[in-house]
């Protein structure tokens, strides 16, 4: 019963098959291979715009490097106070940008609003040069930004002279939930760079940075090499991403995760002794349990995270591309036996 993270799951079979195919013969190194070239074309088709993709092996690198081309070292990066870049990346954004300062914003359900962004920029105007706002899709609270919400943030960002960055660690879950086109959530809404997650949704190691301007791509190439994130056998990262975006595999996997989260939350919401504390719009479920329930679940082998920032007793369950009905049923049955 491991619902601690979508990172605990393995690699989708289609991704493993792609890695096996990439493991035959020889190909050029450092991204000059045929698979990486095909990936560029596939991602451009996906986003309906000339897109430039740089495969990397970690989401932290994808966030830090993509932010580094959107802000100078003396810049300010605005983000929600629950954002992964603020809470979990050990100053990696500051490191990759050479010193840009994070300025956090608190709003309900982890979604930044245009008004809250403007107020925060005004309040911190002389702390650092306002440079970029980063939004997370889907958010750390399991909610999503609608197309209209991203467009509104994009318009406000432009009015304030800010670039717009998207931490898309669960971008697939958001697109699957909204049923929209990837372009509508990104460049059409004013997004300048996307740290596009995939490892949470079925790849083995691959993440990507996607930008929509050649000059940013060229700068990213230099920054990525200096940071040590150019893989000599890039084809193995690209092969995972190529398979991920083939035949809508990425959306199929994300829809399963979202469906399982919805199923779990609906069953939990029917109980008088459990409170679902956040809207369940993607694949994260936040609930308030009693201390006895939490202890009992863990004693019986369930794995999940405490989430005290949302209140006493709040825990997080995460469903992923391979979360089974049996896992959810076992969790619910175990909860029934709480002493």
**Does residue 108 fall inside a structural domain?**
yes
Task: State the burial class of residue 87 (Cβ atoms within 10 Å of its Cβ: 0-12, 13-18, 19+).
Answer: middle
Together in a domain, 325 and 190: no
Q: Where are the alpha helices (DSSP H) in the chain?
A: 13-22, 34-47, 59-68, 84-87, 92-97, 114-123, 147-159, 171-178, 214-226, 234-244, 249-269, 291-299, 325-336
Instruction: Encode pLDDT of 103-133 as tens digits.
Output: 999 999 999 999 999 999 999 988 999 999 9
HEC string of 116-180 equals: HHHHHHHHCCCCCEEEEEEEECCCCCCCCCCHHHHHHHHHHHHHCCCEEEEEECCHHHHHHHHCC
**Does residue 3 fall inside a structural domain?**
no
**pLDDT at site 108:** 95
For residue 24, what is the domain's CATH number?
A: 3.40.640.10
Q: Mean pLDDT over residues 136-160, rounded?
A: 98
Together in a domain, 114 and 228: yes
CA distances from 87 to 4, 7, 92 (A): 17, 17, 11
Instruction: Encode pLDDT of 27-58 as tens digits.
Output: 999 999 999 999 999 999 999 999 999 999 99
Instruction: Encode pLDDT of 238-274 as tens digits.
Output: 999 999 999 999 999 999 999 999 999 999 999 999 9
Together in a domain, 112 and 197: yes
Together in a domain, 101 and 112: yes
**How far is it, in rounded angstroms, from Cα 143 to Cα 135?**
12
Together in a domain, 187 and 72: yes
**Phi, psi of 69, rounded to the nearest 5 degrees:** -95, 0
**How far is it, in rounded angstroms, from Cα 333 to Cα 148?**
40
**Does residue 314 fall inside a structural domain?**
yes
**Does residue 173 fall inside a structural domain?**
yes
**How far is it, in rounded angstroms, from Cα 247 to Cα 79?**
34
The answer for residues whose C-beta is within 8 angstroms of residue 308's C-beta and 6 or more apart is 314
CA distances from 90 to 62, 86, 182, 223, 316 (A): 14, 8, 30, 19, 22
Together in a domain, 317 and 243: no
The answer for residues whose C-beta is within 8 angstroms of residue 85's C-beta and 6 or more apart is 63, 67, 77, 79, 92, 93, 102, 134, 167
Together in a domain, 225 and 143: yes
Instruction: Encode pLDDT of 167-179 as tens digits.
Output: 999 999 999 999 9
Domain stop point among 202, 220, 247: 247
**pLDDT at site 161:** 97
Contact of 4 with 193, CB cutoff 8 Å:
no
Together in a domain, 233 and 294: no
Domain stop point among 230, 247, 264: 247
**Does residue 190 fall inside a structural domain?**
yes
Together in a domain, 256 and 326: yes
Cis status, amide bond into 138, omega within 30 of 0: yes
For residue 280, what is the domain's CATH number?
A: 3.90.1150.10
Together in a domain, 240 and 261: no
Instruction: Encode pLDDT of 78-110 as tens digits.
Output: 999 999 999 999 999 999 999 999 999 999 999
Q: What is the distance in angstroms between the CA of the first residue and the CA of the last residue of the chain?
A: 19
- Rg of the chain in Å (alpha carbons): 20
**Does residue 211 fall inside a structural domain?**
yes
Instruction: Write down the pTM of the prediction.
Output: 0.96
Rounded percentage of the chain residues whose pLDDT exceeds 70: 100
Note the Cα 176 to chain centre separation in Å: 13
**Does residue 49 fall inside a structural domain?**
yes
**260: containing domain:** 249-336
Longest dimension (CA), the chain: 61
Half-sphere CA count of 270, side-chain side, radius 13 A: 8
Looking at the structure of the chain, the number of domains it has is: 2
Together in a domain, 221 and 231: yes
Instruction: Encode pLDDT of 206-237 as tens digits.
Output: 999 999 999 999 999 999 999 999 999 999 99
| Residue linked to tokens 């920029």 | 121
Q: Mean pLDDT over residues 292-320, rounded?
A: 96
Domain stop point among 210, 228, 247: 247
**Does residue 117 fall inside a structural domain?**
yes
Q: Report the mean per-residue pLDDT for the chain.
A: 97
Together in a domain, 178 and 285: no
């Amino acid at each position: 019963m491991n619902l601690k993270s979508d990172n605990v799951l393995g690699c989708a079979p289609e991704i493993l098959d792609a890695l096996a195919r990439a493991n035959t013969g020889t190909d050029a190194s450092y991204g000059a291979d045929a698979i990486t070239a095909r990936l560029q074309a596939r991602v451009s088709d996906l986003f309906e715009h000339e897109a430039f993709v740089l495969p990397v092996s970690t989401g932290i690198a994808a966030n830090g490097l993509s932010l580094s081309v959107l802000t100078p070292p003396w810049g300010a990066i605005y983000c929600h106070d629950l954002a992964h870049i603020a809470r979990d990346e050990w100053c990696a954004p500051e490191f990759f940008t050479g010193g840009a300062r994070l300025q956090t914003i608190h709003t309900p359900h982890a979604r930044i609003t245009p008004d809250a962004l403007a107020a925060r920029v005004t309040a911190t105007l002389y702390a650092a040069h306002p440079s970029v706002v980063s939004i997370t899709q889907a958010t750390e609270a399991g909610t999503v930004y609608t197309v209209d919400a991203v467009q509104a943030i994009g318009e406000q960002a432009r009015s304030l002279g800010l670039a717009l960055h998207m931490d898309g660690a669960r971008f697939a879950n958001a697109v699957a939930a909204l049923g929209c086109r990837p372009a509508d959530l990104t460049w059409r809404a004013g997004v300048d760079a996307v740290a596009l997650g995939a490892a949470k949704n079925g790849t083995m190691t691959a993440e990507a940075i996607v930008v929509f301007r050649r000059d940013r791509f060229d700068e990213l190439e230099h920054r990525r090499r200096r940071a040590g994130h150019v893989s000599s056998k890039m084809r193995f990262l690209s092969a995972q991403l190529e398979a991920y975006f083939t035949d809508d595999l990425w959306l199929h996997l994300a829809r399963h995760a979202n469906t399982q989260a919805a199923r779990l939350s609906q069953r939990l919401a029917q109980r008088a002794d459990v409170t679902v504390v956040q809207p369940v719009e993607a694949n994260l479920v936040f609930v308030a349990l009693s201390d006895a329930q939490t202890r009992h679940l863990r004693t019986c082998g369930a794995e999940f995270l405490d989430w005290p920032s949302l209140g006493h007793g709040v825990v997080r369950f995460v469903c992923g591309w391979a979360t089974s009905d049996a896992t959810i049923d076992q969790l619910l049955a175990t909860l029934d036996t709480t002493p």
